[in-house]
Amino acid sequence: MNAVKVTLGVLLASGAIVSATGLPTYPQTANAAEQAAATAVAKPSVYIAPIDRAKFLAGSKFDFRVELNDLTGDPGNVAITVNGKEASAFFGKAFEKTSTAKSREFTIRDVTIGKAGTYTVSVKAGSLSKSVKYEAVTADVAGKKAKNVILFIGDGMGISSVTMARIMSKGLTEGKYNDLLQMDKFDQRAIVTTSGMDSLVTDSANSASAYNTGHKSAVNGLGIYPDNTESSLDDPKVETLAEMLKRTRGMSVGVVTTSEIEDATPAAVVSHTRRRSDKPEIAEMLLKLQPEVVLGGGSAYFLPKSVAGSKRKDEKDLIADFEKSGYTFAENATQLKAAKSPSKLLGLFHTGDMNVYYDRSTNNKEALKSFTDQPNLWDMTQKAIDVLSKNENGFFLMVEGASVDKQLHAMDWERSAYDEIELDKAIGVARKFAEQNGDTLIVATADHNHSASIAGTYWEGDGKSGREAIRTYEAAKFPTYTDANKDGFPDSPNPDRKLAVVFGATPDYYEDYKFNAIPQAPAVNSDGKYVANPATLANPDDPNKDRFLHTGTLDPKVDSTEVHTADDVPLMAYGPGASYFKGTLDNTEVFFGIVNSLGLSLTGAKPDGKTWVSLTEFLNVIGGSAKYDSAKNTTTVKANGSTLVLNLAKRTATKNGKAVALEFKISQGKTVVTSNSLLAALAK
């Protein structure tokens, strides 16, 4: 029996779940201290969802919930108000009231805040009290609007990951890159913070949910705020962007990924659940929303229980249900190509996660098993654009390079980098479409980071190996990856001098800096403890293999793979609305940037047909200035030898004490004007 089979046998015996890529995932269990804390007596408290500082697009739908938890007696009269008005009257709906021996719950589902502004929610119940503040906003009306939005998520793609991919794809000559990645060439850039509402370090579910809803969630949460019930499917919901666009704009929606289509990032486009592992239910949520394009892996949750490979517990045949709804179905790359551009397209190319690009491109049959005809990500992206762009109302497309993350968990950074290059080629496809049409915003970002970093290069040319062969500073020189066929991928992941990538948050693992021909788990379970997996070594039977052993930083009873970090992630944007993405942004702001690019209104307000621009930005262009007086609530504008005074409260403007016609208003906290009226008012 070979080393691979031994490894898989150990994993299966340990209760690990082995994914389609051969990588295990393990259920997380609390340690003793966490278990003790969970059983400690909790004090009575008030929980309000949405949470403090939640930001809403005015007119978006959400569930409102108040919980009184860990009660020791009757809390007495409960008062819940919004800006001083009784909450049920404010929302126009009565509370659904529930209770247990230790809690009281007050829920109103499917409500909206229809007017921009600041709102204070106050709860008083006996000696308990709590207040939170909300902000409701409308979409920015200034500037040219996008018809389409394509959001690329490199799952786990930190700045160091981008650098790895660029080095391996483009190379350097005397310190200068020979070329840049497609995402590098986007002019607009920002840094995104990633923490969730309950944890410094996020997972992909609630971080992707932030991009799709504009709201924080908890680890494992998708399109919800967590509540105190056992069910994962009844938590307070927040509307996703895809739901908004279908409800109000008639836009098409596409979801493309190299993971299971029910996995966290693609699921965030459509789903509402406290538990990202509700994959059968997430598949049904896809059917309910019916994105016009659904491409990825995960057919196991679409197949009825009686079909081999199914992971459902019922006989629902979701593929048949999609076909009844007008979808063309493809199960391999050949069928995807033959599908042309139907009105609706479902492609499921693996029962689990799709295999990584390296194994697909080299026809690595030991890794692929029977799935030898899987499409690449850029072809899926092109097909999605072909289908979605037929809608005159526009489209929203989310494309995920999923195994950038999955391979970093396994510390297989070479496979991760190949998948990032694949993602970048998909970005190139979108960029070409955007350049041809001029009406498409492209955003490329990540949901979280990993602890991988480039320390130098690895070279055995002088007989050294292992850690002694890691070269730093001037000894590192430059890696020797080549791309003879000019396809953008290195010809080999194992040149004579390769990148030396190190990790900071790991289990115990072996590292001989050799590429694994078959994907391997970094650690395996042995008597309830995760130990380094010798199958990752070029010679697993090396009697001196402990010279390659790296002592981990994580609890060996809990963590079997490298984990996410709280590091910020990069964002690159191109097209109408890209200027929103600058500086340091909370991950929820990515949603609002997309909303602003579309000029999305959910309140029934009609566009006035005027072109609005930021006052300060326009003055910067024409050489003017603006000064705000908070005491008078006025803005004084000086340009072209003239002085204008804008009374922001009365929405009037004067020039030399006389009224002057000027079109201006406040949008997203900024003063915006029509350029023609400003130039006319400033004219001598």
Q: Strand 549-550 to strand 509-510: parallel, antiparallel, or no bridges (unpaired)? A: antiparallel
Active-site hit among 19, 161, 169, 204: 204
Q: Is 314 annotated as a binding residue?
A: no
Q: Is 450 annotated as a binding residue?
A: no
What letters, b where the CB count within 10 A reaches 16 and e where it falls short, cover 345-375? Answer: bbbbbbbbbbbbbbbbeeebeebbeebeebb
d(CA 121, CA 274): 24
Report cis status (omega within 30 of 0) of the bond before 24: no
Instruction: Say whether 547 sits in a helix, a strand or coil.
Output: helix
End-to-end CA distance of the chain: 90
Q: Strand 652-655 to strand 642-647: parallel, antiparallel, or no bridges (unpaired)? A: antiparallel
Written as one string, the DSSP assignment of 474-496 is: GGT-------TT-SSS-S-S--S
How many CB atoms sit inside 10 A of residue 45's CB? Answer: 12
Burial, 1: exposed, middle or buried (Cβ in 10 Å; 0-12, 13-18, 19+)?
exposed
Interior angle at CA 315, CA 313 and CA 316, nearest 5: 100
Close Cβ partners of 253 (under 8 Å, ≥ 6 residues apart): 242, 245, 246, 269, 289, 291, 292, 293, 388, 395, 396, 397
Q: Is 265 annotated as a binding residue?
A: yes
Close Cβ partners of 357 (under 8 Å, ≥ 6 residues apart): 258, 376, 377, 403, 415, 418, 419, 421, 422, 489
> Known catalytic residue: 299?
no
Q: Is 278 annotated as a binding residue?
A: no
Residue 95 is classified by DSSP as: P
Identity at 436, one-letter amino acid code: Q
By C-alpha distance, which of 415, 443, 424, 417 is closest to 581? 443
Number of H helices, E strands in the chain: 18, 40
Written as one string, the DSSP assignment of 261-303 is: TTSHHHHTTT--BS-TT-HHHHHHHHHHH--SEEEEE-GGGTS
Q: Is 424 annotated as a binding residue?
A: no
Residue whose tokens read 């494992």: 220
d(CA 658, CA 579): 35
Q: Strand 625-629 to strand 612-614: parallel, antiparallel, or no bridges (unpaired)? A: unpaired
Q: Is 173 annotated as a binding residue?
A: no
Strands (E), 26-77: 45-49, 54-57, 61-69
Q: Is 550 annotated as a binding residue?
A: no
Written as one string, the DSSP assignment of 188-227 is: EEEEEE---SS-SS--HHHHHHHHHHS----TT-BSB---
Written as one string, the DSSP assignment of 114-153 is: -S-EEEEEEEEETTEEEEEEEEEE----BSPPPSEEEEEE
By C-alpha distance, which of 256, 262, 222, 288 is closest to 352? 262
Q: Are 562 and 505 in contact (CB under 8 A)?
A: yes
d(CA 470, CA 400): 33
d(CA 165, CA 403): 13
Q: Strand 293-297 to strand 345-348: parallel, antiparallel, or no bridges (unpaired)? A: parallel
Interior angle at CA 196, CA 192 and CA 199, nearest 5: 120
Q: Is 567 annotated as a binding residue?
A: no
d(CA 18, CA 23): 6
Q: Is 202 annotated as a binding residue?
A: no
Express the helix, strand and coil content of the chain in percent, nearest 5 each.
25, 30, 45
Query: Active-site positions?
Result: 204
Binding-site sequence positions: 155, 263, 265, 400, 405, 409, 447-448, 564
Binding residues for Mg(2+): 155, 263, 265, 400
Residue ranges of the annotated binding site for Zn(2+) are 155, 405, 409, 447-448, 564
